[in-house]
Structure 1
Amino acid sequence: MSNSGQQSQPSQPSKVTPDSNSVQSYLNILQGIITRMATNSANCKTWCVSLVSAILVVIADKNKPNYAWIALIPIVLFFLLDSYYLGQERNFREIYNNFVKELHSGEVVTDKLFVLKPPKGMNVVNLLFSSSLSFSVYPFYLTLVLTVIIARFLIL
Structure 2
Amino acid sequence: MTILQSVIQRMANNSASSKAWCITLVSAILVIVADKAKPQYAWIAVIPTILFFVLDSYYLALEKGIRNAYNDFIKKLHTQALLADDLFVVVPQGGLFGLFVKSMMSFSVWPFYLTLYGMIYAAKVFVI
TM-score by length of 2: 0.96
Q: Kindly report the root-mean-square deviation, in angstroms, between the aligned alpha carbons of the 2 structures.
A: 1.0
Question: How far is the alpha carbon of 1:127 from its aligned partner?
Answer: 2.7
Alignment partner, residue 111 of structure 1: 85
Question: How far is the alpha carbon of 1:111 from its aligned partner?
Answer: 2.0
Alignment partner, residue 71 of structure 1: 45
Write out aligned runs for 1:6-155 (5 A): 27-119=1-93, 122-124=95-97, 126-155=98-127
Give the Cα–Cα distance (whole angstroms) in 1 for the partners of residues 92 and 125 of structure 2.
Answer: 45
Give the Cα–Cα distance (whole angstroms) in 2 for the partners of residues 123 and 32 of structure 1.
Answer: 19
Secondary structure class of the residue paired with 2:69: helix
Query: Which has the larger displacement, 103-112 or 50-59?
Result: 103-112
Counterpart code for 1:46 = A
Q: How many percent of aligned residue pairs carry the same amino acid?
A: 52
Secondary structure class of the residue paired with 1:69: helix
Give the Cα–Cα distance (whole angstroms) in 2 for the partners of residues 73 and 140 of structure 1.
Answer: 15
Question: How far is the alpha carbon of 1:116 from its aligned partner?
Answer: 2.2
Give the Cα–Cα distance (whole angstroms) in 1 for the partners of residues 72 and 82 of structure 2.
Answer: 10
Question: How far is the alpha carbon of 1:118 from its aligned partner?
Answer: 3.2
Uncovered stretches (5+) of structure 2, i.e. residues with no partner: none
Counterpart code for 2:80 = G
Q: Residue by residue, what CA displacement relative to the aligned partner does 1:76-133 show, whole Å, maximum 9, x if unpaired? A: 000000000000000000100111111011111212110123325x143x23211010
Uncovered stretches (5+) of structure 1, i.e. residues with no partner: 1-26
Secondary structure class of the residue paired with 2:120: helix
Give the Cα–Cα distance (whole angstroms) in 2 for the partners of residues 33 and 111 of structure 1.
Answer: 19
